[in-house]
Structure formats: structure tokens, C-alpha cells
Structure 1
Amino acid sequence: MAGSTYGTLFRITTWGESHGPAIGVVIDGCPSGLSLNEEDIQKQLDRRKPGQSKFTTKRNESDTAQILSGVFEGKTTGTPISVIVYNQDQRSRDYGKIKDCYRPGHADYTFDAKYGIRDYRGGGRSSARETIGRVAAGAIAKKILEQLGIDLITFTRSIGDICIPETEYHYEDIAENILYMPNNDYAKKASDYLESCMKNQDSSGGIVECRVKGMPAGIGETVFDKLDASLAKAVVSIGAVKGVEIGDGFEASKNHGSNNNDAFTCQNGSVIKKTNHAGGILGGMSDGSELILRAAFKPTPSISKEQQTINTAFEETTIAITGRHDPVVVPRAVVVVESMAAITILDQMMINMSAKMDALEAFYCKE
């Protein structure tokens, strides 16, 4: 299978299936000398593991990370880092009744069309469990970025039509509610909404927002490898993502240039913008202001409400999906979006080190 590797210099390859023995990632390009242990990875994996609340699948997985290579005496060695997480609670029998049906909203039909064979147990490579590898790699990328003074904060902006206005963000609330929303009052409204979805045997979509502070200006390329283009590819590669915005995003299409343009000024000798409609990126490169990224997730396709479909013999039938499924993927996807953003930004920053002669001379020319 092609397409399981992402990145140029900081490169990751995820592997494994939802109901296979294990799942994991190989990270190549991590510099030597970074302090790293399994707890650094585990605390990020714990943000996405199942069973955290009534709005997540009851699949009982510890998602315990084990580092197999690339770390010696608590420091990275510069060689490939391999991380494995063993699956413990697959319950593949839950999928036996639907193995010959194409589930609406899933990749069942497209997998068959492409390969002529598919792993029907939980979706195989299309399962959300594939994101374990992304989060493990993202934990390493985030740790490097933190040492460079770059911080990411990511949260649930909306669930269904319940959307938090930017003026009412309270970041301290994110860790205080099960939906990772930056406003506890809106989180209560969203919880009530999700309960009604569950009573109706249905699911919901929502939006994850990621904000990056401390970005230097000039990170990213100007044509095909624009920072925003790379972020869009990284985030849309997450299962269930159907749209990406940078800054004002689609709202910018309703604005005038006189309002949408961010005016430049100087403050304490530094170039800043008076507004940030562009979301921290101009011409494919970071402009030094806060980077603002949003990802729109579709409703979870696995619902117990009866739906029309066809089977592998192309006969009309109906399906009601049983088993353990999230009524909304957004809260667990928060750390996945953050991880892909961190991986992309770190990769682009590494590439940027060769953009100027003075950077090469400073590194290689010794007086």
C-alpha cells in the first residue's frame, strides 16, 4: 500500500490495522540528543484513547506505547524511532454480520474497488486506530517544537451547530470538560445535543481548531509546498476530515480586500500585523503571527439507525451497525489534528534551515 509515509526530512510511516496484533509508527529524521521516554508519548496517546467518556467507544484499550528503537539512555540517537502499541480488545466478531455489506460513509466499497480485498474488521487501515501512529510521532515533534519556543493549543470549536465564538474562548476550560471545548457552558450544551443524537441512534460532526504561537516568519515554501498547503494535506489525510480553513477561511470569501488585508506595523522593533485574517500565513509562508487552523469532521458513519446499502453481490439490502462506536469523533481527534500540525511545522522548519547562505555558513564555517 502506497501513501503510508508523510514528511520530507522529519518523516513518519504508520502501519497496522484496527483488529491486527498491533499498530505503530516509524519516525525517521528526528535529531539526536532529544530527551525522550515512553511517558512523553503516552501522555499524548492518553488524550485519544477510547473509553474516556460516554461519548467515546467502549473499546477497552490501554494504548500503551513501547519504544523499540532510536533511543538510548533517555536520548534520541538520530536513528529511526519505532513505536508500537499492541491491540488488546478487538472483538472482531462484532463485524461478522456486516462483512459482506458496504457500510454507508465508510471505505468498504472503495477498498474493494482498489484492491479486490479488504479487512472488514473495524475498517482495517481506514480505522481511526491508525491515528495512534500519528499521535506518537506528533508527541516527538511537539517536544522538539517546545524547545524551539513554539506552542500548540488545540480544542473542539464546535459540535453540530453549537459553535463557540472566539470572544468566549477560555483555554483553561479545555481540560475541564470531556469534549475538550474552551468553554464549559458550551460544552454542556454540546453534551446535551450529543445525548439527543445517541437517543436517535445517530451521530454528529464538528470542528477542531489548532492555534500555534511562537512561529518565526518565513517558514514554508512559495509554490507546491506552501505551509498552508502542507497543513491542509496533513489534516485532510485524517479520516473523517472534509474541510480545512486557515484564518478566516471561507468567511474571507464574503469580505472586501480593504477589510480582509492585515495591516503591518512595527512594535518594539518587530514587524507585526494589526489583525490576523490570514491566520498567520502569507504567500505560503508563516508571517510571524499566530497560526490558526481549523478542521471540519463529518458525523461518525457507524450508526445503529437502519440505512440502505448493497452487499458485495451488488444486491439491495439494509444495515444497522452494532458494536462500539463514537457518536462523535471530534474530541478524540483534537490531539490528532495537533499532532499532524506539529509534524508538518517541524518538517518545514527543518527544510527552512537551508534557505539562506548565512545559515549554512553559521553551521559549517568555523573561524
Structure 2
Amino acid sequence: YERMRFLMRPGHSDWGYFVKEGGFNDYRGGGHSSGRLTAPLVFAGAICKQVLLSKGISVGAHIAEIGGVKDRRFNPVAPELDKVNRDGTLEESAWTAMREEVLRAAEKGDSVGGVIECAVVGIPAGVGDPFFDSLESRLAHMVFSVPAVKGIQFGKGYELAEMNGSKANDPFRVVDGRVVTSTNNNGGILGGITTGMPVIFDAAIKPTSSIFTEQDTVDVSTMQNAKLQVKGRHDPCIAVRAAVVIEAAASIAVLDAVL
């Protein structure tokens, strides 16, 4: 990494940290933005997940998309958390196609991003607060601590902007003495507070920044334009590893909210 100390890697956080820390930033690996730092997050999330299970709340995630190749989605009303296979998808065929997409990018010296879908099942209605501590805010705050996450949406997310209210609204009804909704377009949260339906959100993972394709950059030691071609071992897709991390982040945020 020494040769890249002053070469700002496109897509990495090098430049921002270099300025913020006056050149004393840790440039090795990803520094403060390294995926390695998700290890303690997963450890903490695993503990939180066990506590949540004791309260009847389950958290699960799967790889919903990689490089445009899509897996089927969770049932928004009754997510099938137990159907996620060992590769992290709901459909084996989806994983096969995703793997091929990742390998194609790797052969070109490039990388691909993806989407992780996460669901929280069994969380009661009334969890969350208005304004700054809405459950969406808490989840987003935690999920954005995961390196490479560039977006989050709840339920139908941006699709809601294209819908009429008659389609976007989730009609209420009583089933076995419980208030539920027949659809879950809003991802189980309204006004920042849970409705009692599954909380469902997507996290967008950007393509791995370290790629073997030559890129334009600057050498801040000389303040000259430069070229950079990253060497070494780098994953062509970090979304493959991200489902368990997003699951852990969600578990931490949800447990904090329900206690």
C-alpha cells in the first residue's frame, strides 16, 4: 500500500480522510472504511439477534440483486426468512446467474454492486419515535455505518413516488384479533413508528472501489494528475458478503429501539 499513500483511489474515502486528518489517515486497506471493520459489527449483531429471538423478533436478509441480476423478493406480508439458502439467495438459479455476473466483471478487471433486502419479523406495533428517532432513522444510521452502503429504502421506497395513494396505502383489517395490513408497501413503518407488520428495507451496495482497470487520479504529494492501477487481491463484488452485515446492523438498531 505504500506506493498508493499519496495516490487517491477513485471510489475510496482516501481524499476525504486525507483532508480531515491532515495526511495522517490510515491509507492501508480501506482505513476507517475497510470492510474488515464489519467483523465486530457482525459479532455484536449476532448477540443482539439472539436477544431479539427471545422476544419473538427475527431478522433475516438475502442478496436481492447483483449487477442487475435479481433474486425473487421476500413476501412483504410474511417474509420467508427460513428460505434463504447458504449462498444468500432465495432462488438457487439467481445465485448461479449472480456468480456468473461477478466472474464476468472480474475477468475485465472491474467490479459490480448489489442490493441486500432485509426483513424484521415479529416486531410489535408502536416501536419508534417521531422526528429524529424514527425507526427508519435508527436503521439508516446503523446501516450507513457499513462501508459501501450508498442507499436505503423502506418497503416500495422510491416506487411510492410513482403510485397513487389508492395503490400505495396499506389497508387495515383485523385477523385473529390483531390489526394487520393486507399489503406492506410502506415496509412496516408509518410516521417513523412500526405498524406491527414486517419491517422491510433495501440497502444498496456500491461496486468494489479497488479495481484492476487503470483510472485517473491525483498524486497529492506533487499535486499532479496521475494514473492508478490497483494491484493485489480484491473482491470483484462485496455485496456477496454484505447480507450478514446488514442483518447484524439491523439487529443492533432494532434491539436498541425495542428495549
Q: Name segments (4+ residues, structure 1) moved above 6 Å.
A: 167-170
Aligned to 1:276: 184
Cα separation, partners in 2 of 1:266 and 1:172, compared to 1, 3 Å: closer
Deviations 1:291-339 (A, max 9, x none): 1011001100000110010011221110111112111111211111111
In structure 1, what residue type is equivalent to 2:104? S
Aligned to 1:346: 255
Structure 2 matches for 1:78-227, cutoff 5 A? 95-116=1-22, 117-166=24-73, 174-177=84-87, 180-227=88-135
Residue 318 (str. 1) matches residue 224 (str. 2): no
SS in 2 for 1:333: helix
SS in 1 for 2:64: strand
> Residues of 1 paired with 2:153 and 2:172: CA distance?
22
> Residues of 2 paired with 1:314 and 1:183: CA distance?
50
| Contact 1:126-1:239 within 8 A present in 2 as well | yes
Mark the runs of 5 or more structure 2 residues left unpaired by the alignment.
none
Structure 2 matches for 1:325-344, cutoff 5 A? 325-344=234-253
Computing the radius of gyration over CA atoms, which structure comes out larger, 1 or 2?
1
Cα separation, partners in 2 of 1:330 and 1:218, compared to 1, 3 Å: same
Query: How big is the shift at 1:171?
Result: 5.6
SS in 2 for 1:325: coil
Query: How big is the shift at 1:229?
Result: 1.3
Structure 2 matches for 1:351-362, cutoff 5 A? none
Query: How big is the shift at 1:165?
Result: 3.3
> Residues of 1 paired with 2:53 and 2:86: CA distance?
23
With structure 1 as the length reference, what TM-score do the two structures score?
0.67
| Contact 2:72-2:90 within 8 A present in 1 as well | no
Query: How big is the shift at 1:176?
Result: 3.6
> Residues of 1 paired with 2:202 and 2:216: CA distance?
32
> Residues of 2 paired with 1:121 and 1:232: CA distance?
27
SS in 2 for 1:243: strand
Mark the runs of 5 or more structure 1 residues left unpaired by the alignment.
1-94, 351-367
In structure 2, what residue type is equivalent to 1:321? V
Query: How big is the shift at 1:170?
Result: 7.3
With structure 2 as the length reference, what TM-score do the two structures score?
0.94
| Contact 1:170-1:183 within 8 A present in 2 as well | no
